[in-house]
Amino acid sequence: MNAPAANSRLPAVLYAPDGTRRVDYRAVVKMAWPLFVQFGVQAFLNVIDTWFVGRLGSESIAGMNAVNFSSFTLLLLFGGSGIAVQTIVAQRFGQRRKGRASQAAWHGMYSAILIAPLCVGVAIAGQDIFFVFRSACDCRGGSF
């Protein structure tokens, strides 16, 4: 088996003289450490937020969790297309297929324009949406 050229387009793939592939974990860590740091900082901030709100009582934490879950769901629903487009554009750009990368980027822009009115509608209707949670909490004798 012939080994590929030494200049692989994938920085984390190394080839042995016999042509077998292996992963260069140093390269993976070098590329991924900013994400590790970002997710660590976000987790730390979530713990601090919960600590501060926890000092107000269990009802406050319950309200915070209801809002966190709802906002995370909406973020994934509306932001999911952007995350998918970012991945596709990065892959096409890495493959040096700039025409396909720009095409995918424009599709992402069009989907964002189509989704934007729905996002604004959800933001405007926020009080009405959370009224359902308030009503459910009032039925059990709690306050929200």
Per residue in 64-110, pLDDT (tens digit) is 887 777 777 777 776 777 888 888 999 999 888 999 999 999 998 89
Q: Does position 144 have pLDDT exceeding 70, yes or no?
A: no
Mean pLDDT of the chain: 80
How far is 47 from 71, CA to CA, in rounded Å? 17
Per residue in 117-131, pLDDT (tens digit) is 887 887 788 778 777
